[in-house]
């Protein structure tokens, strides 16, 4: 019996990953369980050590620990090292190796949406681990101008400069229409209750010619990113396709078993 898990703060209980992975493991006949673990910030190091002690086969890491766990890992994949954030840990004996399947999962989701990235302009909201994965992949897919918007100037500049993007403050986006073929929300907020100020800003944001709005979050009763897409007749995609595709890549790292992405997408429909 293999034990897999996901590490986060209290938001771990809102994740669809446990139900998704559990259904997929059952469907493919693999003996395994996938459980959520709520970790307090001061216990991140202890949590990583516990993976070794408890012989956990593999772990996912999500907001807010995608960057904070890195000092406690033994190795990083090349991609994870470049991105500077991880979402997947492979446990092999006492060795913990970090990977980033968020970036390639995002790419797979864009391919599924038949969005051609090369030469397109992009606007990415966020400065955390998810934003790093998105901006990295947009750059790798040869997007045109990539603007990174955030509240913290230093963090915004760090993410933008890391991947040849352009940093901007969120407030300055209202000064004039923004050229963006794709808008990606890589922050952890999507509902007005979570971020009323950002919701008000997004309501005023003008992106003429935008083809696709992607929100990496999911499960919000009210979603101001989706509302923006509806008002402007822009295609919208939430985070479930990216979740399914990154999960497929993650399971392959943990078990070396290749599972069709449809299995994960179908599992999400059942949750």
The tally of CA atoms less than 13 A away on the side-chain side of residue 203 is 10
- CB-CB contact of 14 with 262 (8 Å): no
Whole-number Å distance between alpha carbons of 267 and 117: 28
Which tokens belong to 225?
A: 């990113």
122, β-bridge pairs: 146, 182
- The C-alpha atoms of residue 188 and residue 43 are separated, in whole angstroms, by 21
First to last CA, the chain: 23
3 state SS of 230: helix
Given a contact cutoff of 8 angstroms between Cβ atoms, the answer to whether 39 and 65 are in contact is yes
**CA 82/CA 100 separation, integer angstroms:** 10
Phi, psi angles (nearest 5°) of residue 15: -75, 140
Catalytic member of 66, 97, 204, 269:
66
Instruction: Enter the DSSP assignment of 181.
Output: S
Pairing mode of beta strands 95-99, 88-92: antiparallel
97 given a catalytic annotation: no
* Lookup: tokens for 185: 């929300």
Phi, psi of 213 (to 5 degrees): -115, 125
Give the residue numbers marked as catalytic. Answer: 66
């Amino acid at each position: 019996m293999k034990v897999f898990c996901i590490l986060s703060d209290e938001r771990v209980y809102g994740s669809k990953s446990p139900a998704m992975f559990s259904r997929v493991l059952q469907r493919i006949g693999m003996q395994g369980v996938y459980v959520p673990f709520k970790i307090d910030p001061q216990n991140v190091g202890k949590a990583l050590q516990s993976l070794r002690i408890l012989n956990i086969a593999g772990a996912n890491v999500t907001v807010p620990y995608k960057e904070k766990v890195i000092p406690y890992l033994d190795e990083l994949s090349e991609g994870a090292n470049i991105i500077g954030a991880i979402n997947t840990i492979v446990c092999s004996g006492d060795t913990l190796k970090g990977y980033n399947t968020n970036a390639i999962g995002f790419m797979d989701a864009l391919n599924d949406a038949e969005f051609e990235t090369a030469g397109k302009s992009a606007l990415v909201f966020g400065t955390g681990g998810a934003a790093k994965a998105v901006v990295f992949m947009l750059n790798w897919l040869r997007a045109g101008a990539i603007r990174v918007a955030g509240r913290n100037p230093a963090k915004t500049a760090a993410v933008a400069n890391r991947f040849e993007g352009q940093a901007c403050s969120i407030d300055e986006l209202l000064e004039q229409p923004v050229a963006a073929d794709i808008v990606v929300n890589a922050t952890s907020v999507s509902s007005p209750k979570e971020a009323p100020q950002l919701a008000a800003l997004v309501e005023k944001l003008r992106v003429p010619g935008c083809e696709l709005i992607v929100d990496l979050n999911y499960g919000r009763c009210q979603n101001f990113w989706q509302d923006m897409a509806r008002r402007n007749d822009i295609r919208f995609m939430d985070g479930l396709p990216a979740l399914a595709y990154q999960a497929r890549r993650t399971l392959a790292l943990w078990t070396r078993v290749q599972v069709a992405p449809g299995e994960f997408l179908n599992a999400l429909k059942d949750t």
